[in-house]
Structure 1
Amino acid sequence: MNIQLPKGVKRILDKLLFNGYEGYIVGGCVRDSIMGKIPNDWDICTSAKPEVMMNIFREFKVIPTGLKHGTLTIVINNQHFEVTTYRIDKEYVDGRHPNKVEFTNSLKEDLNRRDFTINAMAYNNKEGLIDYYDGLSDIHNKTIRCVGNAFDRFNEDYLRMLRAVRFSAQLEYRLRIETFKAIKKLSKNIIHISKERIRDEVNKILLSQKPSKGIQLLEETRLLEYIIPELQECVGFEQKKPHHDEDVFYHTMRVLDNTEKDLILRLAALLHDIAKPQCFSIDRENTGHFYRHHMKGMELAEKILKRLKYDNNTIKTVKQLIKEHMLKYEITTPRAIKRLINRVGKENIDRLFKLQIADIKGSKAPYKFDNINKAKLVCDKILNEKQPLTLKDLDIDGNDLKALGVSQGKDIGRILNKLLDRVLDNPELNKKEILADEVRKLLKE
């Protein structure tokens, strides 16, 4: 096996070897190279201690990234490469970090502390692939397996449970049975991991090729009930609707898979029906209803996303998409669509249409998109023609109104809004001289 190494990586390994030390690329970059993917990062491990490395690489810029853990960053031609001394992690006291590390001269001991076999391989051009824990076999068999005892690995670092699910989703690998069982048994411990770390792993699951596989695996391993318990409530919740042939959870999974790789859109898909269990009622014909679930869902989504430390813009956008996802487009006049664009935002209107189409595809066939397509045509015309939508788009402003004799304060806002109302229906009125005439008429009223 021959892995093509970047020049900077080869230079670092050659320098280590020249000075009498071992050096290998390690972890994800080895895994990705074997799988034919281009690695995002090139991590290097070595038998050289940090202070020795500082001397060996003195001709380059060296950043003491994590000196006490043996990690330096070496900068070559503006590229950053992390180089870490072989180490043994001592006792993990908080379910996330070892209380101390101990440097070692053994590559095997260093690889033994790693999470999964596919991440515990090393390589250099001199010796080729070093694979003490049969990671290559797990790549060929498409399996996620812990290095050593799964319970030990997950008890050391609870985040590894979520990483196992994420790798399974991203790589489309299955969890080995002992790995799966260990996660299920230890799942409650995920509550000890920071919400930011959990959020980042959830994002990677959502942006995988088929996100439903990862979310379903979270449910099967019981991680979901500790991360998004509101979604767990949707599992097995029958809708009792003629156009829905699956429970709320599996409908959500189908909607999720029918969206493109856009985090905002996939978060909206994941949470669009989150409030259905709370809004359920049943009529005399034994038909289920979920009145105002989109409004309650918007509130629940905000609570969930805040808990997982999402940024305010993401929360605001996802809420708006959930709020509008039930829109039926019985009225698709330019005015109505302009109001919708203003509520959702130009940058998000296409996301709304995509969410609604995915929602329909996640229900029972036949699928009807006529109203959405009609609304989309009107929307595209408005945006392509750059028709005025907001006060900022008017060809007249507050200063112009003052010059025409409008007093400051509420009158300016009131008149501008009246002008916008007229321009929304008749875009051709949006010319300064025409709007000035309208102002004069309003002042005479």
Structure 2
Amino acid sequence: MIIDIPGFVENILQRLSDNGYEAYLVGGCIRDILMGRSPKDWDITTSAMPDEVLKAFYDKRVVATGERYGTVTVIYQEGKAEVTTFRSEGAYSDGRHPDWVRFEKSIEEDLSRRDFTINSIAWNQGEGLIDPFGGIKDIGQGLIRTVGNPEDRFREDGLRMIRAVRFAANLGFSIDKLTLTAVEQLAGMIGMISAERVREELFKILIGPNPSYGIKTMLEAGLIKFVLPEILATVGFEQNNPHHDKDVFEHTLCVLEQTPDTLHIRLAALFHDAGKPYSYTLDDEGIGHFYGHNEKGAEIAVKALKRLRCSNKIIKQVALLVDYHMRHYRSNERSKLKRLIGEIGKENIFDLLSLQKADAMCKKKQKLIAAAAEMESTVRDIIIKNEPVNIEDLAINGDDLKHIGFKPGVQMGEILNELLNCVIEEPGLNKKESLIHIAQTKCTGQITD
């Protein structure tokens, strides 16, 4: 098989070989090439020690990205590659780094310490493909299988359990039966892994091409309990929708699939109905409602994302979308939509509409789907026409009001809000002269003598 690689990668391999060292492309880049995909990263494993790699590339920029663990990054103008010394390693007791690293002498020993067979394939020009654990066959069968005993691999590093799900979901593969059984048995080990490492794997699942498969597989493997316990209450909880028989969890999976692959929107989709199990009430006629489930869902999302040590920016974005996902859901009133834009900001409005549209599609209510599309069209028109949506958009400000005799403070704020209400209803009034006239005629009692 012809392995087509960039010139700078070929040069790195050749230079290591010319200096008397073994060197191979390894891991995800080889897997991707065999699957007809373009690798995002280039990884090379070599018999050269880190200091020897530094000497071999004396004329290039080399960054010691993990020299303690045998890794340096060689940087060319065309790109970069991580170069790692053949190694084996111990367990990850701190959830982030191996307890020990031992540099090895052969490519076979290096491949034997890797996680999955599909990532344990090496190649160089002289020897071709090296596949001691059947990774090529597993790629052909679409199978995620550990190298050797799955319990041993997961006890070395429990994060590999989520990585198994991530590779399955993002590549469209299934998980080998013995591997999946080991995940089910050892799922509790996730509690020993740092929140940051768990978060990054979860996020890669969520923004991948098949997030619902990933989340559903995490549930089936027993991982949800330890990664996203807040979602468990939605499993089996009735959606209370006569149009379909999906529970809240299944509805959530559907919404995940319908949203764009933007992290904070996918996270909002994941939590948008998480408050329903805690908000179900019956009215006087015995009809069930989920009053306030959006506020409860936002609260749940904040708690979960803080536990996963997410950035404040992500937490705020997700909480906002979850909290507002029911606002003006069935309304295409232009004035109401302008007030909504003013409340959440132009930078968030289309993310909210994406979530609402996905929610409507998964409820299978044609009126909701049509309303969501109409709302998006109206919002685009409002923004294109630059119609005022907040006080900053007014053709008048506090200084202008002071010049005509209004008192500063709370009263002035009330006047500005009143003027905003006027121009929201009639955008043509947003002229300085018109607004001064309105202020003077409506609020003469607040002008100083």
Pairwise TM-score range, normalised by the shorter structure: over 0.9
Q: Distance in 1 between matches of 2:348 and 2:148?
A: 47
Residue pairs, 1:157-172, within 5 angstroms: 157-172=157-172
| Map of 1:143 onto structure 2 | 143
More deviation, 166-175/401-410: 401-410
Partner of 2:23: 23
2:256 aligned residue: 256
Gaps of 5+ in 2: none
Deviations 1:34-83 (A, max 9, x none): 11111111111111112222221111122222222111122222633211
> In 2, are the aligned partners of 1:60 and 1:76 still within 8 Å (CA)?
yes
Contact 1:388 1:394 in 2 (8 A): yes
Partner amino acid, structure 1, of 2:159:
L
Alpha-carbon spacing, 1:344–1:15, altered in 2? closer, same or farther (3 Å): same
The letter of the residue matching 2:348 is N
Deviations 1:189-238 (A, max 9, x none): 10111222212111111112221100000000110011111211211122
Q: Is the CA contact (8 Å cut-off) linking 2:24 and 2:45 kept in structure 1?
A: yes
Query: In the superposition, relative to structure 1, how do residues 412 and 121 fare at CA in structure 2: closer, same or farther (>3 Å)?
Result: same
Contact (CA 8 Å) 1:97, 1:156: kept in 2 or not? no
Structure 1: which amino acid aligns with 2:73? T
Q: How far apart are 1:95 and its partner, in Å?
A: 5.3
Residues 424 and 164 of structure 1: is their aligned pair in 2 closer, same or farther, counting only changes over 3 Å?
same
What's the offset of the Cα at 1:367?
Answer: 6.0
Q: Whole-Å Cα distance in 1 between the matches of residues 94 and 439 of structure 2?
A: 68
1:62 and 2:62 correspond: yes
Q: In the alignment, what sits opposite 1:338?
A: 338
> CA offset at residue 269 of structure 1?
1.3
Alignment check: 8 A CA contact 1:97 1:157 kept: no
User: How far 1:290 moved relative to its partner?
Assistant: 2.1
Q: How does 1:139-218 map to 2 (within 5 A)?
A: 139-218=139-218
Give 1:407 deviation, angstroms: 3.4
Aligned counterpart, 1:300: 300
Give the Cα separation in 1 of the matches to 2:286 and 2:241.
9
What pairs with 1:118-133 in structure 2 (closer than 5 Å)?
118-133=118-133
Change (3 A) 1:13 1:382: same
Report the equivalent of 1:233: 233
Pairing 1:319-338 to 2, within 5 Å after superposition: 319-327=319-327, 329=329, 331-338=331-338
Post-superposition CA distance 1:261-318 (Å, at most 9, x none)? 2222211111111011112235687754322212211211221122222222322222
- AA at the equivalent of 1:181: T
State the number of aligned residues.
445
Q: How big is the alpha-carbon RMSD for the aligned residues of Structure 1 and Structure 2? A: 2.1
Cα separation, partners in 2 of 1:93 and 1:425, compared to 1, 3 Å: closer
State the alpha-carbon separation in 2 of the partners of residues 283 and 9 from structure 1. 67
Structure 1 CA distance, aligned partners of 2:82 and 2:416? 58
Q: TM-score, normalized by length of structure 2? A: 0.93
Deviations 1:381-425 (A, max 9, x none): 211211011111111222222332333333432322222121111
Counterpart of 2:5, as a letter, is: L
Counterpart secondary structure, 2:164: helix
SS at match of 1:339: helix
**Residue 167 of structure 1, CA deviation:** 0.4
- Any idea what the Cα deviations from partners look like across 1:102-134, whole Å, max 9, x if unmatched? 112111001111000111111112211111111
Structure 1 SS opposite 2:305: helix
Structure 2 equivalent of residue 277 of structure 1 = 277
Task: Tell me the amino acid that sits aligned with residue 310 of structure 1.
Answer: C
> What is the CA–CA distance in structure 1 between the aligned matches of 2:234 and 2:19, rounded to whole Å?
60
Q: Which residue of 1 aligns with 2:48?
A: 48
CA contact under 8 A between 1:96 and 1:156: conserved in structure 2?
no
Per the alignment, in what secondary structure is the counterpart of residue 369 of structure 1? Answer: helix
1:308-365 C-alpha deviation (Å, 9 max, x unpaired): 2222232222222222322455553322111111223222222323322322322356
Q: Distance in 2 between matches of 1:388 and 1:247?
A: 41
Aligned-pair distance for 1:433? Answer: 2.1
Partner of 1:5: 5
Work out the CA distance in 2 between the residues paired with 1:339 and 1:91.
55
1:163-207 per-position Cα deviation (integer Å, ceiling 9, x unaligned): 100000000100000110011100011011122221211111111
Q: Tell me the residue number matched to 1:80.
A: 80
Asked whether the 8 Å contact 1:273–1:297 carries over to 2, the reply is: yes
- Structure 1 gaps, min length 5: none
C-alpha distance in structure 2 between counterparts of 1:286 and 1:310, whole Å: 41
Q: Counterpart of 2:102 in 1: which secondary structure?
A: strand
Q: Secondary structure at the match of 1:222?
A: coil
Distance change (3 Å), C-alpha of 1:95 and 1:305: closer
In 2, Cα distance between equivalents of 1:289 and 1:419? 37
Letter in 1 for 2:48: A
CA shift for structure 1 position 94: 4.0
Is the contact made by 2:8 and 2:78 (CA closer than 8 Å) also made in structure 1? no
Cα distance in 2 for partners of 1:80, 1:30 equals: 16
TM-score (norm 1): 0.94
Q: Give the 3-state SS of the residue equivalent to 2:88 in structure 1.
A: strand
AA paired with 2:347? E
Q: Distance in 1 between matches of 2:2 and 2:323?
A: 53
In structure 2, the CA distance between the partners of 1:425 and 1:249, relative to structure 1 (3 Å rule), is same
Q: Percent identity of the aligned residues?
A: 45
Q: Counterpart amino acid of 2:11?
A: R
Aligned residue for 1:305, secondary structure, equals helix
Specify the alignment match of 2:430 in structure 1: 430
Which residue identity lines up with residue 71 of structure 1 in the other structure? Answer: T
2:414 is equivalent to residue 414 of structure 1: yes
Mapping for residues 307-322 of structure 1, pairs under 5 Å = 307-322=307-322
User: 1: distance between equivalents of 2:437 and 2:328?
Assistant: 38
